[in-house]
Amino acid sequence: MKEKQAVREAFTEMSTHYEKVVDGELNLFWGWSYDNFVTELVKHTHIKKNQKILDIATGTSVIPRKLMEQEIPGVRITGLDITESMLRQAQHKVATSGYQSDIRLVCGNAMALPCADGSFDVVVSGLASHHMDIPLMLSEMKRVLKPGGLLSIIDVGTSPIWETKFFQFFARIIAFLFFLIRENSTRAWAEAAAVDNLRTPEGWQNDLSQAGFKNIQITKLKSKYKWVPEPLSIQSSYQLERDQ
């Protein structure tokens, strides 16, 4: 509960400059711009006309707006975030982008989605899963997906050596100090707490399989430094037992 509150407070404070902060951090550690990172997610997310899409932890609506740029007919997107100040920024950006009739914004928790069962064709999420209870998040994603629906996630990853107790302890200290100096104490606590929640490709494979997802594809993206684990692009589908 404390970790969830820390995340909410951290991103509330970041909301007015979120995109600039994320762009700087992605470039510093992985050599990516935020725009290129989101474009990579979109490239791996195959959208069809008239589909309903849910973006979990939508932030300032970067992913929904990028998806709408594909101009696929009939697509409707719901952007969900737990942070109201982020959604206010998102609302302004959606309005100025001209997509206000196609993008709906909702305040809600990814671990208890305020959505009906089987209500989306595609569920996406970018740079958020490491702040969540991943098994519970995947369970909720599966619940709101239609049979045959697509899951698409992009996030930072980890490696087996970084999963050892020594390296996790070291990484938590570094993360805390880095974000304390660069941002503030709430962001520092939120990011330090997220270190233990990072997954290897094998970890994601196991979690997705346990949650009932099939056709799992995990792609390692390029990292700026060899010592920094590669980001991961993850796609999978949900099928009812009788369809498998």
pLDDT band per the 50, 70, 90 thresholds, residue 22: very high
Residue 75 pLDDT: 98
Among candidate residues 189, 209, 195, 191, the one with its CA nearest the CA of residue 164: 195
Q: How far apart are CA 237 and CA 244, in angstroms?
A: 11
How confident is the model over 153-181, as pLDDT tens digits?
Answer: 999 998 887 778 888 888 888 888 888 88
Asked whether residue 9 carries a pLDDT value surpassing 80, the answer given is: no
Residue 14 pLDDT: 81
Among candidate residues 234, 171, 222, 226, the one with its CA nearest the CA of residue 26: 222
Residue 33 pLDDT: 96
Contact present, 41 and 126 (Cβ < 8 Å): yes
How confident is the model over 94-104, as pLDDT tens digits?
Answer: 999 999 999 99
What percent of the chain is predicted at pLDDT more than 70? 95
Superfamily (CATH) of domain 15-158+199-243: Vaccinia Virus protein VP39 (3.40.50.150)
Average pLDDT (128-147) is 96
For residue 229, give both structure tokens.
């684990």
The whole-model pTM stands at 0.91
Asked whether residue 244 carries a pLDDT value surpassing 50, the answer given is: no
Residue found under tokens 């970084």:
162
The 3-state DSSP class for residue 61 equals coil
Q: Pairing relation of β-strands 232-238 and 213-220?
A: antiparallel
How confident is the model over 216-235, as pLDDT tens digits?
Answer: 999 999 998 888 888 999 99
Asked whether residue 142 carries a pLDDT value surpassing 70, the answer given is: yes
- Tell me which of 189 and 76 has the higher pLDDT: 76
- Tell me which of 243 and 215 has the higher pLDDT: 215
Residue 3 pLDDT: 60
Q: How far apart are CA 101 and CA 99, in angstroms?
A: 6
Residue 242 pLDDT: 46
Asked whether residue 86 carries a pLDDT value surpassing 60, the answer given is: yes
Q: Pick the range with the lowest mean pLDDT from 23-27, 50-54, 193-197.
A: 193-197
